[in-house]
Structure 1
Amino acid sequence: MTQIEVHPLLAIQSHVVHGYVGNKSATFPLQCQGWDVDVLNTVNFSNHTGYGSVRGTKITLQQIKELYLGIKEIGVNYEALLTGYSPNDEILSYTGEIGADIKKANPNCLWLLDPVMGDEGTLYVSESVIPIYKEILQRGLVDIITPNQFEVELLVDFKITCVATLKKALLKMHDVYRLKNIVISSLTLEEFPHTIITVCSQSDCKGNVSSNYFQVPIIESYFTGVGDLFSALLIDRVFKYHEEDQEYLINSVNEVLSIMSRVLLATSNYARAKLGDTVKSKMGSPDTMKCSELRLIACRDLYSSRERNFQSSPL
């Protein structure tokens, strides 16, 4: 049997019984890449909210404290930390404390924070989480952040509409939050009217910033859990490349986008085979949602791919 190196990782985000969002979207692909994933679920829901109905519970502050203290008492050490959806400000604040504690124990632990707050101008959570995210980031302990366009706007307090405002936002993020790595998963800008772009930006924390973008083809379908899968694949690649590759962020994002495009295409093809072209007209119906879940298991052979099918351009 081939021996593979196994790395311990703690993932703090949502959980659903059915479907693939949050930790359900992240855990299996990470395990396929040799990660020993410990999951701390911030919510336990029956399914994601797109189904129109959902049952379950949110973790309480006392519960998350008990779970983390239990981990500490048995001496678990992590090489990576992935944090995503928190249901409210007190859970998010304690997640920040967990991150600080883990980084204190192992300063080399790679912390990827996905500030899950909303998308396309709509908040999924209370506004009270916004200052908590800012406070966590200002500690300078987060290694990578993976917001979407709306989430960046919430963190910098202005709209991003064009390349000029994007550059301004990136500089503020690097400066105020002392972030070395920023990956904005999806943006639409005036200069790119018919496409989505993904941006990666690196800083040496000495005033030198390098930013690049990828143009990403639009796949007309309905998807959930995309950002969670993106962040999981990204933390894997950055962890493996950051010590040996000066362009580790660009190359990591390129590989992740290449995998994601194939996963989304497989998901879209499956949904259309089941539902036909009416797939978008039936949003919110359980049958549509079930057919639109990411084809996470069917795509298991893709997660180790080293293909880099996208072209990066300087911003």
Structure 2
Amino acid sequence: MTTILSIQSSVAYGHVGNSAAVFPLQRLGVEVWPVHTVHFSNHTGYGAWRGPLLPADDVREVITGIEEREAMPAIDAVLSGYQGGEEIGDVILDAVARVKAANPSAIYACDPVMGNAKSGCFVHPAIPVLLRERVVPQADLITPNQFELGFLTETEPESLEDTLASVELARAMGPSTVLVTSVLRPDRPEGTIEMLAVDGDSAWIVQTPQLPMKANGSGDVTAALFTAHLLDTGDAGVALGRTVSSVFDLLQRTLDSGARELQLVQSQQEIAEPRMQFEVQQLR
């Protein structure tokens, strides 16, 4: 059984961070050990929220407690998302080092959350520097959107060729596998959006309709599903197809419901058994 240590935020109401990642992973049969970096009432997109931002030392204590149970060798991947500060980044990197010392085959999957094309960069200015210089070089898998890929590599990818070139710059920093979400190339058919995966000498792309919505937490679900499918199959192309299929169905159900929050539980069947309704095109 695959085991993932997921170090992310948590909310009581709605689905972002661990509150978006844990259930889909469990529905796939993955053992998940969630470590929370915050515990808020809801995600910050509402403009108001309550609850604690957990001190980095408290997060470290939780991870140390797991280590004291002699559980680190069982971990197949460390998964991280939004990093609210440099101190949390240090805790995550320390956890990755401890896990890899106990299990050299374990991977670090990092979703380098910084912003998006519509909103721009919405994290503290120190975070992109932290990610670029210290975090991404330690990652085996990163899952940026196209905007974040550009921010990481200090490029402005637009075309598919641009995006692939930026991916190679990112891989030169350390990660062997890159999943790029929200690829919006100028020459795409109107009303579509793409997701791109590069691993080894191969690259794959999937095109879906672009749904008219903003869904907080969808990136967290995407990173979690792709990590699990990659660990399960060892094939980034298969992982991409399964992930895109499940995420599209989740977003379509959420849009149809009229709800603001992801309809995660309602979409559990599509998560467990992706319908594979989109073609995965191998680029190389």
TM-score of the pair, normalised by structure 2? 0.92
2:137 aligns with 138
Corresponding residue for residue 294 of structure 1 = 262
Offset at residue 126 of structure 1 (A): 0.9
Residue type of the alignment partner of 2:232: K
- Tell me the residue number matched to 1:51: 46
Equivalence map 1:63-78=2 (5 Å):
63-77=58-72, 78=75
Deviation at 1:8, TM superposition (A): 2.4
Letter in structure 1 aligned against 2:42: N
Counterparts of 1:1-315 in structure 2 under 5 Å?
6-77=1-72, 78-120=75-117, 122-134=120-132, 135-139=134-138, 142-177=139-174, 179-192=175-188, 194=190, 195-203=192-200, 209-242=201-234, 248-271=235-258, 291-315=259-283
SS at 2:155 equivalent: coil
Secondary structure in 1 matching 2:7: strand
Q: Which residue of 2 aligns with 1:278?
A: none
Q: Deviations over 1:23-77 (max 9, x none)?
A: 0111111111222211111111110122221122212122122122111112112
Contact 2:136 2:142 in 1 (8 A): no
The TM-score with structure 1 as length reference comes to 0.84
Counterpart AA for 1:163: L
Task: Please give the alpha-carbon distance, in whole angstroms, between the structure 2 residues aligned to 1:8 and 1:49.
Answer: 29
One-letter code of the match for 1:93?
D
State the 1:309 CA deviation: 2.0
Letter in 1 for 2:251: L
Deviation for aligned residue 1:84: 0.8
**SS of equivalent residue, structure 1 residue 199:** strand
Give the deviation of 1:306 after TM superposition.
Answer: 4.4
1:222 shift after superposition: 3.2
**Displacement after TM superposition at 1:151 (Å):** 1.0
How much is the aligned-residue C-alpha RMSD, in angstroms? 1.6
State the Cα distance separating 1:193 from its structure 2 match: 6.0
Structure having the higher Rg:
1
TM-superposed CA distance for 1:314, in Å, is 4.1
Partner of 1:267: helix, strand, or coil? helix
1:79 deviates by 1.8
Unaligned runs of 5+ in 2: none
Q: Deviations over 1:237-293 (max 9, x none)?
A: 111101xxxxx111111111111111111111111xxxxxxxxxxxxxxxxxxx221
Q: Structure 1 residue 7: deviation in Å?
A: 3.1
Q: Counterpart of 1:196 in structure 2: which amino acid?
A: I
Contact kept in structure 1, 2:146 and 2:163, CA below 8 Å: no
Aligned-partner Cα distance in 1 for 2:203–2:31: 32
Give me the whole-angstrom Cα distance separating, in 2, the residues matched to 1:235 and 1:67: 23
CA distance in 2, matches of 1:198, 1:33: 21
Which amino acid is 2:160 matched to?
Answer: V
Q: Where do 5+ consecutive residues of structure 1 fail to align? A: 1-5, 204-208, 243-247, 272-290
SS at match of 1:86: coil
The alpha carbon displacement at 1:299 in A equals: 1.3
Aligned residues of 1:11 and 1:38 also touching (Cα < 8 A) = yes
Task: Quote the residue 1:286 is aligned against.
Answer: none
Work out the number of aligned pairs and report it: 278
Inter-partner Cα distance in structure 2 for 1:101 and 1:151:
27
Letter in 1 for 2:136: L
Poorly superposed stretches of 4+, deviation over 6 Å: none
Kept after mapping to 1: 8 A contact 2:17/2:220: yes
Quick one: structure 1 residues 182 and 90, their matched pair in 2 at CA, closer, same or farther if it must change by over 3 Å? same
Q: Aligned partners of 2:160, 2:31: CA distance in 1, in Å?
A: 39
